[in-house]
Every structure is written in structure tokens, then in C-alpha cells.
Structure 1
Amino acid sequence: MNLDFRLAVPGDSEWLFDTYRRTMKRFVTSAYGWDDDVQQAGFAKSLRQGSCQIVTWEGSRCGFMHWDVEPDLIWLRMLCIVPEMQHKSIGSAALAKVMSLSSHLQKPLYLNVFVCNRAAYNWYSRIGFVEIDNDGKVATLVLAPSSSPALVERHA
């Protein structure tokens, strides 16, 4: 699978939120409840920070990832793959890209995952992320900068 990555542009905004809604609504609803207006406002605010890249395959958008590089860490804010394209190693390739950045900059990679999203939680754990906080709804995980992006491919 030959994936391409490109920076998100304002014209992607509607697609980005729709992808977020399609992939995350059941987990957000389970943890906090879903209000479309509140979610859309929070999503738009979040995207104004950091970097957001669209993942494409054969010219079609199939997911996105959004991260921030902070002085002492990298924060993976979102990794969303459209439901029809999940389980095809697209998320693994996207995560490997951010893991490479983490390794190159020698900064730990952090992320939050909904505790009720067991598939994602378990996937991140297999790759080498370790839970450092958990409020019962959201767990914060960290991957040390020495972890290899090749781990993603072995556990996909």
C-alpha cells in the first residue's frame, strides 16, 4: 500500500470533522455524551494548533493525524482512519511517521485514548505505549523516544 501524506488545508475542514464524527462519536458519547455543535467547535479550535496531515491512498483521503511538537514532548492529538479503510495498516503507517518524528527529535510521544475504545487502547499497548494516567474515561499513554517505528509494523 503506497500512502501519501499532505498538510490539511481549510477546504478539508468539513471532511476532517465528518471523519472525526464517524470514527469517534460512539467513544465520545460513551465517555461524555455528544453535542454536535460543541464537538465541532472544539474540533475546529484544536486543529488551529499543531500539524494536521491527511493520509491519502490512490488519491483518496482515508484518514488524518494531528499532533503538536511541544518543548519537551510530542502530543498526538488525533489519529482517525475512515471506518471503511480501517484494519489495512493505514493507522500503523501514520503512527510510524509520528513515532519517527519523536525518535528524531528525541522527545517522548504522548496520546490520549478513550478507555472504552479497547481496540485502540490494546493496539497502542502492543506497540509499546505505557499508561501513565487514567481517569476512568480517558487514559494518557506515553512512548519513550527510543522506541522504534518498526514496532508499529510488527504489531499491526
Structure 2
Amino acid sequence: MNHSFRKVEPDDMEWLYELNKASFLEVVVRQFGNWDEAFQREMFFAKWAQPRQARIIETETGRIGVLISEQLDDCDWLHEIQIDPGYQGRGLGTILLQNLLTNARSRCVPLCLQVLHANQKAKRLYERMGFREIEKLENHYLMESRMTD
């Protein structure tokens, strides 16, 4: 799937919230029992008030997702990949992960991430891509990539 990246603009924020809701509503309900709209909206906008290294993923049809990652001294950190449900299952998430893994390996650091316990679909994808669970936190698994293929 041909895609490009651009920086997040203020006009993207409501769309990003709706993407976040579409991406996480079922998982949040499974893990925490409900989706409190006011709380989720408050948490989302508080999180986005912090400086973010986020990029909108676009195709010829428009916005289809967001990628948030950063390079730290000892690892590359994947904060989030969110892809519009209508575009999931087409390999884009795998391509994005492969690119992030290649970049991390070129720096000789692992790619690290957290995934909610209830998000087993994402956890299985990460495991297929060579990630291993390194710690079970209260709500998340902390995962890390291997340094080589």
C-alpha cells in the first residue's frame, strides 16, 4: 500500500481522537470493563498536550493512521501505531514495524513497546515480528525486539 507521512496539524486532533477510539474501544472495554468517554477524551488530549513525534499516515484517499515513535539512547521506542480499521489487515502495520526494526538495528538498539494485556491481536503480531515479552506490568506487557533477524 502506497503511503506517505506528514506531521500532525491542529486540525487533525479530533480525527486522531476518533481513530484512537476506533483502535482501542474494544480493548479498553475488555481490560477495564467500560469506555468512559469523558475520561478517555481527557486522557487523550492531555497525552497530546505533550510534545509528540507523531506522523499522520496518508494514502491517495487521505488520512488512514498515525505512527508515534522516537529514538532514545538505549532503544527506539514505538509509542503507537494506529491504522483506521478499514485499512487494517493489508500489511501496512507489518511494513511500518519492519521499517522501525530496520532503523533500530542500524543503530544497534532494540525496538521497545508496550501493549495492553487485552490487546492479544497486537501482541501476537509483535511476537511474529520477533518481539519478546520482557516484563508484565500492571496493565501492559513491555516488549523488546531482537537485535538481529
After TM superposition, the score normalised by the length of structure 2 is 0.86
- Aligned length in residues: 147
| Corresponding residue for residue 41 of structure 1 | 42
Structure 1 residues 89-119: Cα deviation after superposition (integer angstroms, max 9, x where no partner) = 1112222232233223322211111222222
SS of 2:89's equivalent in the other structure is coil
What is aligned with 1:110?
A: 112
C-alpha RMSD of matched pairs (Å):
1.9
Separation in 2, partners of 1:70, 1:30: 32
SS state of the match for residue 133, structure 2? strand
Contact kept? 1:22, 1:83, Cα under 8 Å = yes
**Which of 77-86 and 62-71 deviates more?**
62-71
Q: Distance in 2 between matches of 1:85 and 1:18?
A: 15
Tell me the SS of whatever aligns to 1:63: strand
- Percent of pairs with identical residues: 26
Q: SS of the counterpart of 2:69?
A: strand
**Residue number in structure 2 paired with 1:129:** 131
Q: Within 5 A, what are the aligned runs for 1:7-156?
A: 7-32=7-32, 33-47=34-48, 48-135=50-137, 137-144=139-146, 146-148=147-149
Q: Separation in 2 of the partners of 1:95 and 1:28?
A: 23
Maintained 8 Å contact 2:28/2:118: no
| Residues 143 and 69 (structure 1), Cα distance of their counterparts in 2 relative to 1, 3 Å cut | same
Residue aligned with 2:17, SS: helix
For structure 2, the 5+ residue unaligned runs are none
Shift of 1:50: 3.5
User: Structure 1 stretches (4+) deviating beyond 6 angstroms?
Assistant: none
Query: What TM-score results when the alignment is normalised by the length of structure 1?
Result: 0.83
TM superposition shift of 1:49: 3.4
In structure 1, stretches of 5+ residues that fail to align are 149-156
CA distance in 1, matches of 2:76, 2:51: 13
1:16-46 superposed Cα distances (whole Å, 9 cap, x missing partner) = 1110100111111222242223222322333
- Structure 1 position 136, deviation (Å): 6.4
Structure 1 residues 60-91: Cα deviation after superposition (integer angstroms, max 9, x where no partner): 11111112322222221111111111001111
Q: 1:105 to 1:10 in 2, by over 3 A?
A: farther
Cα distance change on mapping 1:70 and 1:37 into 2, 3 Å: farther
